[in-house]
Structure 1
Amino acid sequence: MTKLGAVFVPQWEPERLRGVARAADEAGLEELWLWEDCFFESGVASAAAALAWTERLRVVVGLLPAPLRNVALTAMEAANLERMFPGRSMLGIGHGVQGWMGQAGARVESPVTLMREYVGALRGLLGGERVTVRGRYVNLDGVELVWKPASPPPVLVGASGPRSLRLCGEVGDVVILSGGTPPGEVARARALIEEGRTAAGRTTPVTLAVYLIAATGAGQFERRRRAHRTWGLTGPVEDVTVGGDAAEIAAQLRRWTDAGADTIVLQPAADEPSPEDFVRFVARQLRPLVS
């Protein structure tokens, strides 16, 4: 079955998260996704708060920029969240937007090399290993988590280029594609991920998650067009966003699921009039129509 999630976009003030998370939990939303966009909101702090405010909701941070965060710290935070809220949190790792990484003094010459080293070390730490790494970017000397998770959470990775997507297939449990990815590009990404998974000799499947801008209610198409312009998306609005009532959106989503998406994370426009109503719509009206 296709999973459905919704994003709390960091263009909304942090103090709005509590109401949105509670609305999502009460409505039965499967997953609330958060971003660590520079320089808006911290992904981990927001995730911890959302988990504490809710009872059942799974909270996913997609993504944390690897250049900004030492892998030992990321492992500590992932393990803490998993122990405090078992099975309800996931953290994703990405290259980070290179311009932002430059602003923060964290840009690296080879993001692909960093990702390979980082995810390998993260897996080891979350798996309870004592990790020593002497890499180009990741260096650990006998690091072992004291408070290990009883069950290591999945490792999420995000990327867009061919080399990065193949690497994601090699090392990731879930691969995340950015908003504005049309169905044809989803199919191509799925093929590259499978190439990487096969080359690495992995037998377990890799889940593909896709962000997709969505709008419903009055003025939905105009909000989609504004989001299309704001995010600098290319191609027709209909190929990179969805909109309408629940039945119309459910029908449109089939293009992405047919292309290989396992999880669709609906991204409201930043000018969405009611984030609380948006997550309720996804959970109560759209979820029953998407199989």
Structure 2
Amino acid sequence: MTARSSFVPAPWLLAGPGTLFFVGLVLLPLALTVILSFHAYDHSSGIQNTFTLSHYVAVVTDEYYLSIFWRTLRIAALTTLICAAIGVPEAYILSRMRDPWRSIFLLVIIGPLLVSVVVRTFGWSMLLGSQGLVNQALELFGFPAAKILYTETAIVIALVHVMLPFMVIPVWTALQKLDPMVEAAAWTLGASRFTALRRVVMPQVTLGMLSGSLIVFGLSASAFAVPALLGGRRLKMAATLVYDEYLHELNWPLGASIAIIVLVANLCIMLAYNRLVETRARRTLG
């Protein structure tokens, strides 16, 4: 009997469709945005077919743009820190739960992702408004009404609510790989619960925290709906600034320049943070 020869396509043929989608949906629009950012713009005649660096120079030297960039990074970092402080203990508790409570609380954590970000942001605008439930509760307990809406506090609160599942799920997934008996063995050998948590659990959580922090920081820095609805017209972030330049000012090259600068800054911060956490994880885990 003769063996039938089977055709095995080359690996690059198997990866071809995915590569085409990646090039067409990610790399090509990004390249066009970079090219657009170097075009000159005139308010009377629109985009000019001439090369210029004036948009980048204007962005990096203008205090108005720099203040918005600093606000964006500050809010994104604060959101990431709060999500880590809340999400890591929440994921640890979730990993120690038994069914059916684990499934119920996991549904509670993931449930908000099923609702549109715009709908949730409108809900926070009603809660944090001058006549919202938060101010009504403050007045009920004898405290003066606080102006929370259209402040950075309102943006951070809503972003934490939106981004918290992206921190809990990676940490919980990392904890699923840890055998609970390892922590129990540390208790048996005389370690306190805090020592076992610090020496056994936390090194395993580090990589989950890294993944969650990168996701939360990247999504928070590029968020549009939350700062647009809760920050108002005066309290802008990078995404709302790009939106204004594209649709209000019609200065597409300047908007493209801002978008590229924000992208490069986010990549540099995330890569540096990734390198720092991975180095510490290797040192801790040996």
Same fold at TM > 0.5:
no
TM-score for the superposition, normalised by structure 1: 0.24
Task: Give the number of the structure whose residues are more often helix, by fraction.
Answer: 2
TM-score for the superposition, normalised by structure 2: 0.24
Task: Give the number of the structure whose residues are more often strand, by fraction.
Answer: 1
